[in-house]
Amino acid sequence: MASALKAYIANKIFTGENWISGHAIITEGGKIKELVPVGSLPSSIATDVFDNCMLAPAFIDLQIYGASGKLLAVYPETDSLVKLNAYGRKAGTAYCMPTVATNTIDVFYKCIDAIRDYWNGNGKGILGLHIEGPWINPAKRGAHIESLIHSPSLKEVDELLSYGKGVIKIITLAPEQCDKEIIDRILSDNIIISAGHSNATYEQAKTGFANGITAVTHLYNAMSPLQHRQPGLTGATLDDASVMASIIPDGHHVSYAAISIAKKVMGKRLFAITDGVTETIDGFYPHQLAGDKYEASGILSGSALTMEKALKNLVEYVGIELSEALRMCSLYPAQVIKMDRIMGRIAPGYNADIVVVDNGLSITSTNYSESE
């Protein structure tokens, strides 16, 4: 039996490339079928109309640790992923990458198991696992647990990747702590390597990029800074022509002026993440809400952002034009994980993941492809 057609109409549509008006989005079976002029839309198609609103691609968050009181590292179980998915979707995030900071191998394995169980139960919206550490530099550990940080052996890497094959999608590591043999082994499983929690020199960072590192984790935070004689990882990221970098636009991790500077230099290479955590008193990271951010033992440890709030901050406080801010929350993350042929745009053949945004940049309604 053919899937039912559904149409969506608003004052304007952001396709991921440009703005159009006077058109409807027609979806079928969880995919975008076509965009047609409103006047030619058949009356037989069920239609949702959103006045004084815009339609845009749903958001993608590539770094978030938990939600609703269930940090994945503390509760490595499917219910944590159910809550994480629901939390993100309320704020326009169709897909997220659950993240686990430096931890024991047992916790990593349990998180891998949880995601497999979630997928086997037909769970949606979870893209895989982002492992942040422990192969990082203790000098730039931030809130990470120093006693667990180390440079990996090839045997350790091979065992973790073999256990997590198909689940681990991103690994954040310090390029100066991992030799090319390690990098090559990770890349052989088509895992995205992101440089972060690193004290790399400019030269070490550029070598890492040349060896296949394609992303950088939370630009400015927990990395060697840009100095006029030692440009560091920050300078190498700004200077590279292709590497992409995430940034946390909450006003605490990075000043809005610093985001503006990075955006002017990097353009399409800069994208937003929430770095979102949730309150917990258990595990290695006892995140406690402190205003509108989280701290662990008095150290900034995560944000209270949603992608909806990230979008607002990028527009209202950084001064980024709305279309570009939307790309930073959708298209560019899709490009990082090489899924921009089905996500991050409103175009025929793409997943029907759509957010309805009002003039105040709040999410008023959503449609996600799996719910059709």
Tell me if residue 275 is catalytic.
yes
Asked if 170 contacts 196 with a C-beta cutoff of 8 angstroms, the reply is no
Q: Is the peptide bond before 286 cis (omega within 30 degrees of 0)?
A: no
Residue the block writes with tokens 């159009």: 20
Q: Rg of the Cα trace of the chain? A: 20
Strands 363-367 and 354-358, bridge-based pairing: antiparallel
Q: Which two tokens stand for residue 138?
A: 């203790």
Asked if 191 contacts 164 with a C-beta cutoff of 8 angstroms, the reply is no
Sheet of 293-296: strands edge to edge? 288-290, 293-296, 299-303
155: three-class secondary structure by DSSP: helix
Give me the catalytic one of 61, 240, 275, 340: 275
How far is C-alpha 130 from the geometric centre of its chain's CA atoms? 9
Residues designated as active site:
275
